Amino acid sequence: MLKGIANAFRVPELRQKLLLTAAILLLYRFGAYLPVPGAPFQDLLGAYQSGLSESGAMAVLNLFSGGALSRMSVFSLGIMPYITAQIIFQLLQAVIPSLGELAREGEAGQRRITQYTRYLTIGLALLNAVGYLFLFRSYGVSLADTGAPEILLDIMVVFTMVVGAMVIMWLGEIITQNGVGNGMSLIIFANIMSGLPTSLISSVTGTGNIVLTVVTLVIIVAIIPIIVFVERGQRRIPIQYAKRVVGRRMMGGQATYLPIKVNTAGVVPIIFASAILYLPAQLAVFFPTVEWVQAFANALSSGWINWVLSVVLIVAFAYFYSSMVFNPTETADQLRKQGGFIPGVRPGAATAAYIKSTIDHVTLPGALFMAVLAVVPTIIFWFTGNSLIQAFGGTSVLIMVGVAMDTLSSIESQLKMHNYDGFFK
């Protein structure tokens, strides 16, 4: 590992990307502590301690904002408006033929979809910002008296939050295009990691049991190798290439394999499922005094309804996203054009059906593994009240490990291009 890190900094281009990524993440964390104009810190602290933090819906929102929401910072909206917009457009691509065709047009089509996603992000961010303003007001939080009309202060706060959400989206895209790894995933990674010290302190002070906290940490660390094992697991479909004569030479005939990852979709199903379950919490901020709306949002944020929906959504998104990133028909067609075939399977439609069946069989255990990791820690928290297992349970650990592995794989691929040893053997 240390050798791989040292090699990464020996490559000038990769070193520049790593430093850019680190600088952007530091800038993002700075923005998470920068309050919006007129934000009253003491009122916010009192509101959060008096019940805002106990809301299951708010706990989800605050986790994905890296604590920025509880501070009413410039980045209070976090990354979720953009992720929600992405989910909406990915689902629309499956049901609206014109959007599906646009997605298949290559780079030009993807640019247009990205632009539409940005527009939708602005709309969602605007709704969220207005909702949060009403939410904080319901907890007795009022903006500082600056002598300006209240409506102007409200507009300024909403505008600042929306701009903050767009800046987060921009920072994530810069990391994806010019840095290392996926920018949005790394921002979520940074948000989760930033809550570790607070969760440790809350776990000790809340339960008064240091032993329980240590045992929880040991369990979390023990889960990491299992996640790595599953993330790197793959089913290898044997591929044979037919021999052919090129000039006077015999070409082809070699055997290889087509790797199918157990968890093809990576951490995307977890993130998307969390975003879907987070939508009722978004809607609840517009009706802070309506009890049944708050009860509905909290029911979807914790309890058995949340557990069942989490499993269903994670499995569904695992299959949905796997079908998007791995097209059996295109793979079978490419194999046929290259003279490759699966032994015992006819080329063409039969090969595509075989690959699809293999993906479906491999995806199920991977999806169930993710679902168990996401739900079991929540159930444990429900009965024990250990805040550490809630903040750093299976979902958080899976996201952190998955993002870390994806980022390391990205670095490793660039190291191998420069003939350096990477992280994985």
The pLDDT averaged over each successive group of 10 residues in the chain (425 residues) is 68 86 91 77 52 53 68 82 84 80 80 90 89 72 66 85 92 90 86 75 64 76 83 86 63 75 80 75 69 75 78 88 81 83 85 89 88 78 64 71 82 75 58
The CATH architecture annotation of domain 196-392 reads Orthogonal Bundle (1.10)
Helix (H, G, I), strand (E, B) or coil at 76: coil
Q: What pLDDT is attached to residue 166?
A: 93
Give the separation between CA 342 and CA 350, rounded to whole angstroms: 10
The letter for the amino acid at 302 is: S
Helix (H, G, I), strand (E, B) or coil at 149: coil
Residue 357 makes CB contacts below 8 A (sequence gap 6+) with none
**36 secondary structure, DSSP code:** P
CB of 56 closer than 8 Å to CB of 298: yes
**379 secondary structure, DSSP code:** H
For residue 394, what are its two tokens? 């299976």
Q: What pLDDT is attached to residue 310?
A: 84
Give the separation between CA 22 and CA 24, rounded to whole angstroms: 6
Q: Which residues in 234-250 are b (16+ Cβ under 10 Å) and which e?
A: eeebebbbeeeeeeeee
Q: What pLDDT is attached to residue 121?
A: 92
Q: Which residues, listed in sequence order, are joined to residue 259 by a DSSP beta bridge? A: 236
Q: What pLDDT is attached to residue 168?
A: 92
For residue 212, what are its two tokens? 């329980």
CATH 1.10.3370.10 spans which residues of the chain?
1-194, 196-392
Helix (H, G, I), strand (E, B) or coil at 252: coil
CB atoms < 10 A from the CB of 74, how many?
23
CB of 19 closer than 8 Å to CB of 419: no
Class at the top of the CATH hierarchy for domain 1-194 = mainly alpha
For residue 362, what are its two tokens? 């491999």
In 3D, which of 348, 312, 316 has the Cα closest to residue 330?
348
pTM for this one?
0.76
**287 secondary structure, DSSP code:** -
What is the distance between the terminal CA atoms of the chain, rounded to a whole angstrom? 11
Helix (H, G, I), strand (E, B) or coil at 264: coil
